[in-house]
């Protein structure tokens, strides 16, 4: 099964992706995680991406497309995957369609979590507080200024993906304001309906 999770930062994509991993035994491919790993490892890509990410802007399509294309060729993704944080622009979505076609694959569903923007800042602040309380490390872009930038980037560059995937007939939009278990149940329902 090949899935895309769409939604603004703080919509709950990471939480739902984790649950899908457990339930379906396919990996979560998070471009945010891949890029943070590249930064931590000090790779060329990491060096190019760090400042852009910290400020809340998007890394170039070229870099991200390359990372994803290589990642979905790994053996653990052969049976499927959950893409989290990719595509984030229409050109990335077009690149993905092409990439999958080249590999003889296609998507099974695109799931969009719709949330109330006013809830997102407080969700981010809660995540930061919980991480600090448990002695964890807060992401460099989890501060109000970068978060606002991430929301702007989302509105400008990522929100148009809903129309893109609506036109291909692949889009399923769910209420991301519902509690986490309800969202999980709705995702499963949508997957069965598509199966
Ligand atoms: N598909 C992508 N295209 C461009 N930049 C990306 C992409 N995925 C992740 N990034 C970079 O990594 C940062 C963090 O991504 P992610 O962990 O997915 O954030 P969020 O928690 O906001 O969903 C983004 O703000 C951006 O700089």
Paired tokens of 67: 């990372």
Residue of minimum CA distance from atom 16 in ligand 1: 32
Domain of residue 141, residue span: 2-194
Distance of CA 108 from the midpoint of ligand 1 (Å): 23
Residue of minimum CA distance from atom 23 in ligand 1: 9
Q: Is 88 in the pocket of ligand 1 (CB under 6 A)?
A: yes
Q: How far is Cα 1 from Cα 8, in angstroms, rounded to an integer?
A: 23
Q: Is 71 in the pocket of ligand 1 (CB under 6 A)?
A: no
| Atom in ligand 1 nearest the alpha carbon of residue 60 | 4
Residue of minimum CA distance from atom 21 in ligand 1: 9
178 is in an annotated binding site: yes
Distance of CA 88 from the midpoint of ligand 1 (Å): 8
Residue pair 40/119 in contact by the 8 Å Cβ criterion: no
Residue pair 82/3 in contact by the 8 Å Cβ criterion: yes
CA atoms within 13 A of residue 111's CA, in its CB half-sphere: 32
Distance of CA 167 from the midpoint of ligand 1 (Å): 24
**What is the value of ipTM here, to two decimals?**
0.92
Distance of CA 87 from the midpoint of ligand 1 (Å): 10
User: Average pLDDT for consecutive 10-residue bins of the chain (195 residues)?
Assistant: 95 94 97 96 96 97 96 96 97 97 95 93 91 94 93 96 96 96 97 81
In the chain, the number of structural domains is 1
| Atom in ligand 1 nearest the alpha carbon of residue 150 | 25
Q: How far is Cα 19 from Cα 184, in angstroms, rounded to an integer?
A: 8
User: Helices (DSSP H) in the chain: which residue ranges?
Assistant: 13-24, 31-40, 44-55, 61-71, 90-102, 117-133, 144-153, 160-167, 180-194
- Residue to mutate (ligand 1; options 59, 84, 148, 149; most atoms within 8 A of CB): 59
User: For the domain that residue 30 is a member of, what is the CATH number?
Assistant: 3.40.50.300
23 is in an annotated binding site: no
131 is in an annotated binding site: no
- What per-residue confidence (pLDDT) applies to 195? 65
């Amino acid at each position: 099964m090949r899935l895309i999770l769409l939604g603004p930062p703080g919509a709950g994509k990471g939480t739902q992706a984790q649950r899908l991993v457990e339930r379906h035994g396919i990996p979560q491919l998070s471009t945010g995680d891949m890029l943070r790993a590249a930064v931590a490892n000090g790779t060329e890509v990491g060096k190019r991406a760090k400042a852009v990410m910290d400020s809340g802007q998007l890394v170039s399509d070229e870099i991200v497309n390359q990372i994803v294309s290589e990642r979905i060729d790994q053996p653990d993704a052969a049976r499927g995957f959950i893409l989290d944080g990719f595509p984030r622009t229409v050109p990335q979505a077009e690149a993905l369609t092409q990439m999958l076609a080249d590999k003889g694959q296609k998507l099974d569903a695109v799931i969009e979590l719709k949330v109330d923007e006013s809830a997102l800042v407080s969700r981010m602040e809660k995540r930061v507080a919980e991480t600090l309380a448990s002695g964890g490390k807060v992401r460099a872009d989890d501060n109000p200024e970068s978060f606002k930038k991430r929301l702007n980037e989302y509105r400008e560059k990522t929100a148009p993906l809903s129309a893109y995937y609506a036109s291909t007939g692949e889009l399923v939009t769910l209420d991301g304001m519902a509690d986490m278990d309800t969202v999980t149940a709705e995702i499963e329902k949508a997957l069965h309906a598509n199966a």
